Chains A and B, each alone.
Chain A
Amino acid sequence: MDFDLSDEQALLKDSLERFVRNDYDFDSRRRNLASERGFSSTHWQLFGELGWTAMPFPEVDGGLDGGAIELMLIMEQFGRGLVIEPYLPTIVLAGGALRRAGSEAQKSRWLAPLVAAEQTAALAFAEPGGRFDPWHVTTRAERDGEGWRLHGEKIAVLNARDAGLVVVPARTAGATGDRDGIGLFVVTAGTKGMRVTAYPTVDGLQAADLALDGVRVDGEALLGTPDGGGSVLAEVYDEALLAVSAEAVGVMSVLLEKTIDYTRNRRQFGVPIGTFQALQHRMVEMFMCVEQSRSLLYMAAMKLAAGHDDASRALAALKYQVGTSGRLIGEEAVQLHGGMGVTDELDVAHYFKRVTTLDLLFGNADHHLTRYTG
């Protein structure tokens, strides 16, 4: 048992840290958010050149064979930088489904452009009324000759506006909530019958609700078997939980550092406010929450990497921990920054928004405590 990074992993971490430190200032991030795509095409291409978009995929698919540890390293630094490029929806979610369920032909057609950072993608993982249940799929897929017709509604589809394709889970059999009977269908952007209502999310990113009104896709659009998509979603979810938790740990670390820094410099009553014990103890509580979250992050990443039986349970524990810790740290960071903490100008408020969003993605703390409890 060890907590050491391999040489390759250490190099990856270095290059991520350098990127976030040198190329990701808050002002250009703000400009990129307001741009047409809502992120920087240049950065996205750079992610491709540096191999980050290829990381989780096997070599045969043009990937770098990275695993849970690499994903954790990437997402933690993206959290630190408050990175807005759609790595999670493209690589972890849509890429995760394509990599697991796609045929060779499907992968060369749809996955290759993602690996090469030529395109972004999305996975429609949520429906109205489904709360956080990945198998709550009421969207129907009906046979139509060699192809399928999709009917239903999806919500909170991250990055749907920019996505060249959306992976859509739809029910081919069984009842709402069943793990079996779900098919995964690739719907490319602009397909007739798919109405995309795009909107900015509270953290400044992009999402959309989708209305699928008899969307016609051909037989090639189905990834894997018509009823086996639920198991694929389960695996994608596990990876997504690790990804957003790692990102949350990155966000929390920065919130703590910025709060410490601020209270050391902000003077009131003639002294830095960081000298007040009432504030010090609150920052210590924040510190302990970050460390405890980091410990569970390492545990869950190592269990997922090793294919442990209880990896899913470890991820539930992790998501609960980062959800509760993230809330505490976000709220405390704002409180300790005083009035500045609720201004749009200061980056702290934006880290707070992101950590709040991350709690809601793929199940909040309560949801995962229930899962953990069984």
Chain B
Amino acid sequence: MDLRFSDDDRAFREEVRTFLAEKYPADIRERTQRGLRLGRDDHMRWQQTLYEQGWAAPNWPVEHGGTGWSATRRYIFDSELALANTPQIMPFGLSMVGPVIYTYGTEAQKARFLPDILASRVWWCQGYSEPGAGSDLASLKTRADRDGDEYVINGTKTWTTLGQHADWIFLLARTSQDVARKQEGISFLLADMRTPGISVRPIITVDGEHEVNEVHFENVRIPVDNLVGDEGHGWTYGKVLLQHERTGIAAVARSKYRLSRLRALAGSIPAGDGTLLDDPQFRRRLARVEIELTALEYTELRTLAAVATGGAPGPESSLLKIRGTEVQQQLDLLYVEAAGYRALPFVPGQFRDPDIADDERIGGPWAADTAPRYFNGRKVTIYGGTNEIQKNIIAKAVLGL
């Protein structure tokens, strides 16, 4: 057991830092530093920058374009990117559908889809939840009926994050109605979002943003070649995908960055004779979050060390999801409380308009964004399988209850 980085790992960290200094696009860097919203193009360009470096998919096996990094290197990479406050990697292609395709797809599907996912030339979105199928995902009703060489899809998917940007959607749909268990008869399908019959309706979230959508399928015809794996076995593939998703949701390195920034901000907020950071109550709350986060960092390292590159993390990824999202929400709340009265203004437009100088924003540079973020952040214990569902998974798969 040894915490120290080897010389090679230290050299690698320098390499990542140099890359960030030289290749992280200046305009995107400015937007994230100023707390401005990012668009599709910003995300795509950043991920393409990583791709050109060969670093697009640390979680993929080498033969499909992964990096083959050790747990230590993945940790270093994540930490450095978070410290530089780079845009989050959109998970839909690289973390979600990609692993399903390289694990269960045909050679033709791998050749057709993986290069575009790896190079972020295509934006994917997720078609899992339905209006009547949330935590009980297997009760989904969207159907895909075979008609010659095509499936005909009818139904509604919901909570489709950033579906308004998407070129392709992966979805779970029922290909057989006559099954003993509802987990059977579900298939994993891929659909071009331009296919006639697909329509996207925005859902405005509590923070006033257009982040999620409903996606309607009305007699949408896709070729049977777009079936991944075996017909009727989609539930199995879907679960593997969710395990890949969960580790990423923990966002440990991001939370570390947010915590250190919060500490710095608190040190600049006048309170009493000193600053908010001198307030013993605030300090203790900050310390408790920091300790939980530090523990989580090492739990993640232990998990990464146990998982060979490209393999799916086991049910212990549920622990990372639960604790990671709890920490995120605690941080969201501490930001609001740090902002105080300055958290009251609700003027989301000023975080979209680069022409408004940070100091000219109502409420100051950052404070007015804290409450919307807190409200929106309630989603993290709900998505990716609610934290209660994660507890069910741990109870069954880890504790054997």
Contacts and interface: CB of A to CB of B under 8 A. Distances in A.
Top 8 nearest A-B pairs by Cβ distance?
Answer: A295-B298, A280-B395, A292-B295, A302-B3, A284-B391, A373-B287, A295-B299, A1-B72
Nearest to B390: A284
A299 B296 CA distance: 11
Contacts of A373: 280, 283-284, 286-287
A165 to B, nearest CB: 33
Interface of B: 1-5, 9, 71-72, 75, 280, 283-284, 286-288, 290-292, 294-299, 301-302, 305, 316, 319, 322-323, 388, 391-392, 394-395, 398-401
A19 interface: no
A223 interface: no
Given A296-B298, A317-B291, A317-B294, A301 B1 contact: yes
Interface stretch (A98-106, A174-182, A192-200, A303-311): A303-311
Given A284-B395, A296-B295, 7 more contacts: A1-B5, A1-B71, A1-B72, A2-B2, A280-B395, A298-B1, A298-B302
A264 B400 contact: yes
Nearest to B285: A373
Contacts of B3: 1, 299, 302-303, 306, 308
Interface string A301-335: 11101101000000001001100000000000000
Contacts of B305: 2-3
Nearest to B286: A373
Contacts of B316: 291
Given A1-B9, A260-B401, A298-B298, A288 B1 contact: no
A293 to B, nearest CB: 7
Contacts of A5: 1
B4 A321 contact: no
B391 A3 contact: no
Contacts of B394: 284, 287-288
A157 to B, nearest CB: 31
Contacts of B294: 296, 299, 317
A167 to B, nearest CB: 30
Sorting the interface of chain A by its residue count into under 10, 10 to 19, 20 to 34 or 35 or more gives: 35 or more
Most A CB contacts (10 A, CB to CB) among B9, B71, B296, B399 go to: B399
Contact of B298 (A277, A299, A369): A299
For chain B, what secondary structure do more than half of its interface residues adopt (helix, strand, loop), or is it mixed?
Answer: helix
Contacts of A264: 400-401
Given A2-B305, A5-B1, A321-B291, A295 B395 contact: no
Nearest to A281: B391
Contacts of B5: 1
Contacts of A277: 392, 395
A369 B1 contact: no
A292 B292 contact: yes
A287 B398 contact: yes
Interface in A1-42: 1-5, 9
A278 to B, nearest CB: 11
Interface in A247-304: 260, 263-264, 274-275, 277, 280-281, 283-285, 287-288, 291-293, 295-296, 298-299, 301-303
A2 B1 CA distance: 5
B299 A291 contact: yes
Interface in A84-101: none
Contacts of B287: 369, 372-373
Contacts of A275: 401
A369 B401 contact: no
A1 B295 contact: no
A163 to B, nearest CB: 32
A69 interface: yes
A1 B99 CA distance: 27
A9 B1 CA distance: 10
A240 to B, nearest CB: 20
A309 to B, nearest CB: 12
B288 to A, nearest CB: 7
